[in-house]
């Protein structure tokens, strides 16, 4: 989808009523992924992390508790809604950061909105010292595929599978250290009452609505 169409979509006034990082469904969506990242990226210090496509802070706030976070998004409205101070407007295809600026670069639910996701991954690899972490919708989940196919702005997700994300990373010279599908909760749509029950499905990989891939720069 063209950049201008996506930008118009993410600048809509109604996005100001999106759920925030404290909503139970949002926490159930973000926390398991962050715990997995911390298990796979072990460190005795607080690492620096750049979040690309930060939105209104679903991941930004909990990530900032365990990493030194800078957040960027191409939507001015999303940057305004994001509660952390170190947040600014940037294009994922042309990041302003210097080479090897952050120990971890994290990106969630952005690449399927881009015409050339490989270009964004190349940029994330450039500014990362060590790790690139990607999370995207899983087209192999029938409900996620149907949602993505029916919603124009999400249609790019119909090509995103675990293997596809792994191939994108490998194409850019990254080494995969972790990859699986996970999660049964859609942060903006899941009713609060269903959250405790759907959390039980998080441990069943083939039901996963989302993909999580952790990749490492080769020495």
Q: State the CATH architecture for 3-217.
A: 3-Layer(aba) Sandwich (3.40)
Radius of gyration of the chain (CA): 16
> pLDDT at residue 42 above 90?
no
CB 34: neighbour CB atoms within 10 A? 17
pTM score, whole prediction: 0.92
Pairwise CA distance, residues 89 & 108, whole Å: 16
Give the length of the chain: 219
Phi, psi of 171 (to 5 degrees): -60, -30
Q: How far is CA 159 from CA 58, 146, 156, in A?
A: 24, 12, 6
pLDDT of residue 200: 82
For 155-171, what is the mean pLDDT?
96
Would you call 96 exposed, middle or buried from its count of C-beta atoms within 10 A (0-12, 13-18, 19+)? exposed
For 147-153, what is the mean pLDDT?
89
Q: Give the CA-trace dihedral at 6, 87, 41, 199, to 10 degrees.
A: -60
Pairwise CA distance, residues 99 & 1, whole Å: 28
67-126: pLDDT as tens digits: 999 999 999 989 999 999 999 999 999 999 999 999 999 999 999 999 999 999 999 999
């Amino acid at each position: 989808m063209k950049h201008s169409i996506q930008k118009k979509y993410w600048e809509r006034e109604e996005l100001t009523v999106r759920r925030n990082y404290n909503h139970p469904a949002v926490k159930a969506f973000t926390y398991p992924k962050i715990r997995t990242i911390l298990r796979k990226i072990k460190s005795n210090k607080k690492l620096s992390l750049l979040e690309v496509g930060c939105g209104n802070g679903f991941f930004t706030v909990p990530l900032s508790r365990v990493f030194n976070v800078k957040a960027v998004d191409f939507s001015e409205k999303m940057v305004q809604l994001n509660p952390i101070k170190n947040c600014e407007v940037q294009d994922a295809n042309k990041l302003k950061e210097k080479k090897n600026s952050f120990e971890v670069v994290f990106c969630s639910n952005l690449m399927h909105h881009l015409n050339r996701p490989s270009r964004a991954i190349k940029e994330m690899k450039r500014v990362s010292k060590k790790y690139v972490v990607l999370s995207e919708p899983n087209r192999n989940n029938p409900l996620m595929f149907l949602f993505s196919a029916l919603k124009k702005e999400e249609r790019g997700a119909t090509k995103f599978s675990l293997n596809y994300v792994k191939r994108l990373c490998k194409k850019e010279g990254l080494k995969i250290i972790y990859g699986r599908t996970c999660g049964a909760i859609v942060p903006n749509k899941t009713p609060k009452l269903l959250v405790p029950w759907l959390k039980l499905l998080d441990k069943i990989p083939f039901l996963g609505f989302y993909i999580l891939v952790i990749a490492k720069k080769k020495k």
